[in-house]
């Protein structure tokens, strides 16, 4: 499935598996990283700095109770990507930017099957972020082909999609359709 996403034009992949044990996570992340490297696409590991270091992934994504950006920067090479979940908190994004984050993510903008208890964020947050955030802003949460355009139009740099990709009939085609949305803005 990940290879189909990559063949469809995904420009970044995040590995997130909170349920698996460490050996399965290592196996999955290693294989996904191999696929990403084959397609010259960065792999971001969610909330696991040790796994990021072990497979030499291109980046780490952290949430509120995860590794702090300054700590991650101490362990990761300067060229590594560090993303921060900011939920619906603009001040958290401003702080992450000041600490050296590579990008910030807001959401969930729509109900999410992947993370049903996610904090809800309003579209106006993206518009407010335009004036304060100079690093890329990513929108997450319940994004599909019907609602992605409003997020892109509101100022986000990228969208993070899971359910909207992996439940489609043809993952590669669905990824291409999402990619085409960026050509409109």
Is 115 within any annotated ligand binding site?
yes
Average pLDDT for 37-62: 98
Domain boundaries in the chain? 2-182
The CATH number of the structural domain formed by 2-182 is 3.20.20.70
141 is in an annotated binding site: no
CA distances from 102 to 72, 145, 171 (A): 12, 26, 28
CA separation for the pair 92, 97 (Å, rounded) = 9
Say what the pLDDT of residue 184 is: 67
- Alpha-carbon distance of 102 to 48, in angstroms, equals 17
- Res 185 pLDDT > 70: no
H or E segment and range at residue 62: strand 59-62
The pLDDT tens digits for 74-86 are 999 999 999 999 9
pLDDT in tens, 3-15: 999 999 999 999 9
Report how far residue 93's alpha carbon sits from residue 106's, in angstroms, rounded to the nearest whole number. 8
Check whether 66 is labelled as a binding-site residue.
yes
According to the model, what pLDDT value does residue 168 have? 80
| Mean pLDDT of all residues in 19-48 | 97
142 labelled ligand-binding:
yes
DSSP 16: -
> Is position 73 annotated in a ligand binding site?
no
């Amino acid at each position: 499935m990940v290879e189909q996403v990559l063949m469809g034009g995904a420009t970044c992949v995040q590995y997130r598996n909170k349920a698996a044990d460490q050996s399965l996570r290592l196996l999955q992340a290693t294989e996904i990283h191999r696929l990403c490297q084959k397609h010259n696409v960065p792999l971001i590991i969610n909330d696991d700095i040790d796994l990021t270091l072990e497979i030499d992934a291109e980046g780490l994504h952290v949430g509120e109770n995860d590794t702090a950006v300054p700590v991650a920067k101490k362990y990761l090479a300067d060229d590594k990507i560090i993303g921060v979940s900011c939920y619906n908190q603009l001040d958290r994004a401003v702080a992450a930017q000041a600490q050296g984050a590579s990008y910030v993510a807001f959401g969930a903008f729509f109900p999410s099957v992947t993370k049903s208890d996610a904090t809800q964020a309003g579209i106006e947050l993206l518009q407010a972020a335009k004036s304060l955030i100079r690093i890329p802003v990513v929108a997450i949460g319940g994004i599909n082909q019907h609602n992605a355009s409003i997020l892109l139009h509101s100022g986000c740099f990228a969208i993070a999609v899971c359910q909207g990709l992996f439940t489609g009939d043809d993952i590669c085609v669905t990824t291409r359709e999402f990619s085409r949305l960026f050509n409109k803005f």
